[in-house]
Amino acid sequence: MQPFSIAIHGGAGTLTRGMMTPEKEKAYLEGINTALEQGYALLQKGASATDAVAAAVTSLENCTLFNAGKGSVFTAEGTHEMDASIMEGSTRQAGAVAMVTGIKNPILLARDVMEYSGHVLLAGQGAMAFAAQRNYEILPPSYFFDQFRYDQWQGIKGTDKTQLDHADSDRKFGTVGAVACDIQGNIAAATSTGGMTNKKFGRIGDSPIIGSGTYANNQTCAISCTGSGEFFIRGAVAYDVSCLIEHCQLDLQAACDEVIKKRLLALGGDGGLIAVNSKGEVAFSFNTEGMYRGYRRSDGTSYAAIYGV
């Protein structure tokens, strides 16, 4: 039987032992495992990799611990602007949205862009008009309100400072993502984020940018990234991993490490990624102290972790 697998991330950054209470660690690991279970259950039933990554990211968007969907951080205006993208490796079809508000699960809207719009990336008012056309419910700001996120924003409100996530450290990137390989050997990737606390000017990071934060090609790999978005865009990180596999014949783990631990660092960027290929092999790579991550594979192995080795 063709091996199948799914991997997820919930962000990378300054994650060291002792920073969180045991209860908080348990909650994060439960969030990771719940997302894995929802995606893996679909793969077991023969669903597509696209279905699996959409389900896993939806689960993470519904968890307030992660900076996506319901857990999204506050902008400088006190709103929530969310970005997401999805790509399937068999056709290299992709869809993405940026600067959407009131959408419970931006990853599902990104998938609709891929399947129904004829476009790849829709942003702002245009993305919201498309959501209305697709009959999406627009939720009130109260759905996205979290007291901890709000207090964090209050601490830097009115300044030019931004914060890459809702932690006390400036170096914790709360983007979420998933990659999967199904029983047909097709792969897919999906990524979703609430961006940066106190962000201005309609800032958009790498998460909705195909080739930077998300990429999938059956011939190489599927990638979802998390980190300092501007550097991931400049390095075309997700596509760079694919290129190293295609043109330099690197294996999956080696290609991920070359990009994250050498090329991205050379640009001054930090963060990480998750990857899968059409053989069902899974890889993680990050140049930070930790990354919320996990995988499940059809050989019965599973894994969930927060900190570096």
Structural domain boundaries in the chain: 5-307
Q: Tell me the CATH class for 5-307.
A: alpha beta
Query: What's the confidence (pLDDT) of residue 172?
Result: 56
The model scores a pTM over 0.75 = yes
What CA–CA distance (Å, rounded) separates 213 from 192?
Answer: 9
Query: What's the confidence (pLDDT) of residue 229?
Result: 93
175 classed as catalytic: yes
List Cα–Cα distances, 45 to 75, 97, 108, 130, in angstroms. 40, 29, 20, 31
Indicate which residue of 50, 58, 101, 175 is catalytic: 175
**Regions of the chain where pLDDT drops below 50:** 165-171
What CA–CA distance (Å, rounded) separates 103 from 136?
Answer: 7
Query: What's the confidence (pLDDT) of residue 164?
Result: 54
Q: How confident is the model over 171-185, as pLDDT tens digits? A: 456 799 999 999 999
Least Cα distance to 97 among 180, 208, 172 occurs for: 208
